[in-house]
Amino acid sequence: MIIDVRCRLTTKEGSDYFRTQTQKSGMFGRIDAFKDGTEEKFFAEVGEAGVTTAVSVSGNNPGMKLGYKQLPDRTTSNDMMAEVQKRHWGKFIGCAGIDAGGVYHDPIAELRRCAKLGLRAVFIEPGRSPGCDLDDKRLWPIYEECVKLDLTLIPQTSGPLGGKNIDYANPVHIERVTEDFPDLRIICGHGHYPYVREIITVATRRDNIYLSPDVYLRMFGKAEWIEAINENYRAYFGNYGIADRFVFGSAYPLFDLKDYIRFFFSLPWKREVLNRILYKNALKALKLEDDPTFRKMYKLDLPDEEVDPTPAFIKAEQRKKS
């Protein structure tokens, strides 16, 4: 059982950005769900990999030129996100793609409209549009509205691809946001790579931050993530640790989902942290732990030791090796 907080829809109408990027990278042919572009194939592929809930952080904002690279526009319809979520509640959480720069829409009006549609989370890429850091005061109205509407914020926090300069990902920016908005639930998509130690430290100081390095877990800092989670580095304020703040993400369909989950389960995680980092923390970050559908799906009334979240294909591969 896995909640993947970076698992994007692959339908023909909703995945132009990811089709373009995977065609450039050579990954396109490895994503079976791209071939027929249907919802059914998407849910079949992620389900076979062990993902029980996909959080589709797809986006709706202009791209960015980074040196000679052109990052394409994100054009997934927020109406589509809401429609798929309504059809597949429990299996799919659509994120409102909000253009913080106001090119595609008025960000506050679109936020309010998306909340009425039933969307529970908000994705922004301010490093691309309007081209600012996360603590730019132009973003304060968006954060204020997220708090008012009780929406979870999922900002793009990648150093390599988030903004014009790598220090866009410096955790000092998101920490300034948490100081002014302590009630804003934040999932830091891409985990502020390469500032691994810094964001882990920030998360011990700020209890409204959740960390999701997703594909960057494969890069520098992997050992630090594993140590901080397994040892549950404690907060300076509050009764929680880093094992209570990490959430699983894969960056699918930019990468093969089964391959990433196979990598994730090859890491030396302690058994007592797995349920938290694979789904419990995500439920808290998205404020879904009291929703009856999710409570039943994730067997929240049972103790962790009675709920094994390991995907069936991983168990099968482990049996073959033994």
| 167/254 Cα distance (integer angstroms) | 23
In degrees, rounded to 5, the angle at the alpha carbon of residue 23 between the alpha carbons of residues 1 and 259 is 30
Backbone φ and ψ of 64, nearest 5°: -160, 145
Residue type, 74: R
In degrees, rounded to 5, the angle at the alpha carbon of residue 45 between the alpha carbons of residues 39 and 46 is 90
Residue type, 179: E
| 219/194 Cα distance (integer angstroms) | 9
Structure token digits, residue 322: 């033994």
Q: Enter the pTM of the model.
A: 0.95
Those residues whose C-beta lies under 8 Å from the C-beta of residue 142, and which sit 6 or more positions away, are: 98, 100, 107, 108, 111, 122, 124
Report DSSP letters for 210-269, one per residue. EEE-GGGGGSTTHHHHHHHHHTTPBPSSSS-BGGGTB-----BTSS-HHHHHHHHHHS--
As assigned by CATH, the class of the 2-321 domain is alpha beta
Report DSSP letters for 181-217, one per residue. -TT--EEEETTTTT-HHHHHHHHHH-TTEEEE-GGGG
Q: How many CB atoms lie within 10 A of CB 185?
A: 20
> pLDDT truncated to tens, each residue of the chain (322 aa)?
999 999 999 998 888 898 988 988 898 988 889 988 999 999 999 999 999 999 999 999 999 988 878 889 999 999 999 999 999 999 999 999 999 999 999 999 999 999 999 999 999 999 999 999 999 999 999 999 999 999 999 999 999 888 889 999 999 999 999 999 999 999 999 999 999 999 999 999 999 999 999 999 999 999 999 999 999 988 887 789 999 999 999 999 999 999 999 999 999 999 999 999 999 999 999 999 999 999 999 999 999 999 999 999 999 998 888 7
Q: Are 164 and 204 in contact (CB under 8 A)?
A: no
Three-state SS for 52?
A: strand
Those residues whose C-beta lies under 8 Å from the C-beta of residue 186, and which sit 6 or more positions away, are: 152, 153, 154, 155, 174, 177, 178, 208, 209, 210
